[in-house]
Amino acid sequence: MSENAVQFLLDRQSVKFVRAPGPNEAQLGLILQAAMSAPDHGKLRPWRFSLIRQDVMPQFVDKLFATAQASPTPIPAQKEENARRWLSEVPLLIALACHRDHGNTKIPENERMLAVGAAAMNMLNAAHMLGFGAFWSTGLGTYIEEVNEMLGFDPLDYRFMGYLAVGTPIDETYPVTRPDHRQFVKEYRP
């Protein structure tokens, strides 16, 4: 493997504040196809995606917050205001869900969720490699059933896992200092 490719992984960072342009159709296809390379026990392909593009973002945001405010856990006004400001610039949201597959008793749901998480990471890496900024948000009503349903993810069959915001970084990104991996590793010795 090329050290260049590894350097892309080492340089990747979450970029919340993005604007247009977002990925074109070919680039979006690459980002979504990267998800298909995620580890997937049993080849269940549990990942599901819903695309929210900039042209429908205002309607989505209005419906999102109306739905959230009518739920038992409404979003605080200040958080809504900040999210509306943020989303006014975002050219693409990719909503992520895990298909629960109740008929499959061999592979636990947590393994399917890990597969969706791996798919999301592949998408974040692909977006970064294509020169875009991307951010995984578990806010915006991720844990409100009515928002799940609004996106077409029936809570009985899907576990909604948040959104990837993808676009061109608004601000310049700077290298991030990461912890030394040795702080998190130990050797097994019998």
Instruction: Summarize the confidence of residues 157-186 as an average pLDDT.
Output: 94
The pLDDT value recorded for residue 107 is: 85
**Is 127 a member of any domain?**
yes
**Is 29 a member of any domain?**
no
- The Cα–Cα gap between 166 and 31 comes to 10
Its domain, for residue 142, covers 61-157
- The Cα–Cα gap between 161 and 116 comes to 8
**Is 110 a member of any domain?**
yes
pTM for the model: 0.93
Each residue's pLDDT tens digit, 103-128: 777 888 899 999 999 999 999 999 99
**Is 166 a member of any domain?**
no
Written as six digits, the tokens of 149 are 């349903």
Average pLDDT over all residues of the chain: 93
Name the phi and psi angles at 116, rounded to 5.
-65, -40
Structural domains in the chain (count): 1
**Is 109 a member of any domain?**
yes
Residues 163, 134 contacting (CB under 8 angstroms): no
Determine which of 76-80, 159-163, 184-188 has the lowest per-residue pLDDT on average: 76-80
Peptide bond into 39 cis (omega under 30): no
**Is 107 a member of any domain?**
yes
**Is 13 a member of any domain?**
no
Q: Are strands 133-137 and 92-99 parallel, antiparallel or unpaired?
A: unpaired
Each residue's pLDDT tens digit, 84-98: 999 999 999 999 999
Angle at 109 between CA 105 and CA 110, to 5 degrees: 135
Written as six digits, the tokens of 154 are 């029936």
Written as six digits, the tokens of 32 are 């979504």
- For the four alpha carbons of 114, 160, 151 and 17, in that order, the dihedral sign comes to negative
CA 61 to each of CA 53, 93, 158: distance values in angstroms, whole numbers, following the listed order: 11, 11, 21
The pLDDT value recorded for residue 87 is: 95
Residue 1 has pLDDT above 70, yes or no: no
Number of neighbouring beta carbons within 10 Å of residue 154:
12
